[in-house]
Amino acid sequence: MQIDQKTLNETLRRVFLRRHHPAEIILTCVRWYVAYPLSLRQLQEMMAERGVEVDYSTIHWWAIKMLPVLAAVCRRRKRPVGKSWRMDETYIKVAGEWKYLYRAVDKNGATVDFLLRTKRDHAAARAFFERAIGLHDVPEKIAIDKSGSNKAAIVSIQADTGLAIAMRQSKYLNNIVEQDHRAVKRVTRPMLGFKNFRCARILIAGIETMPMIRKSPLGDIKDRASSAANQFYSLAF
């Protein structure tokens, strides 16, 4: 993969400015870090085996600087999802404490949206639903677990907006999103937790990007056979 830096997103061009490594090396390191269950030190060793000397802290810096841009572009370019959603939350350790990652997929498994919150409550659930609806418009129905806060959030949105959203509380229907959590947990496990909430939010957005692309190609990709890796790299342009 050869990259002409003149064609890069302007924000990313500033990140690459005065970097000692080519853009293709930097993008590859960032993608591998969020696509596979690798620690930063493992990634440093893998690059060294390929003749590329880069410190693990530098790879982390690249990821923190680049992933917000790539994730934002992915959100703009992702395909519409179905009107039947399955929503659930899972646990992510940040600075030694458990935080809550709200996630939803449609009935076919395509990622609807995600949101990391410090608390698991009505306000967090409502923030997630409002964000997801803002991105994809109103679903016809949402399946949730027995969580009272998730139910209260949907009820309050219905009351405040008049939106007609059918709600089902079913453990069986939510199996698909509970299984989908594994793709995120598989990558976060070698990271051994996140140092702070800001880094966690940035890295999780990057981690969510790869399975999002694998499950549903980007909306403006004409070649449906284009690999997930090439689609990820296309976010930089």
pLDDT grade, residue 221 (50/70/90)? confident
Angstrom distance (rounded) from CA 132 to CA 18 = 38
**Cβ atoms 221, 231 nearer than 8 A:** yes
Residue 2's pLDDT is 52
Angstrom distance (rounded) from CA 200 to CA 195 = 7
Residue 18's pLDDT is 64
Query: What domains, with CATH codes, occur in the chain?
Result: 5-77+217-234 (no CATH), 84-196 (3.30.420.10)
As a whole number, mean pLDDT of residues 60-78 equals 93
Which positions ≥6 away from 154 have C-beta within 8 Å? 125, 129, 142, 144, 165, 167
Angstrom distance (rounded) from CA 98 to CA 222 = 41
Residue type, 220: D
Structure tokens at 31: 């993608």
* Closest residue by Cα to residue 102 from 196, 218, 184: 184
**Cβ atoms 15, 66 nearer than 8 A:** yes
Q: At what angle are helices 40-49 and 56-77 packed, to 10 degrees?
A: 100
pTM over 0.85: yes
pLDDT tens, position by position, 79-99: 999 999 999 999 999 999 999
Residue 68's pLDDT is 94
On the question of pLDDT at 61 being above 80, the answer is yes
On the question of pLDDT at 8 being above 80, the answer is no
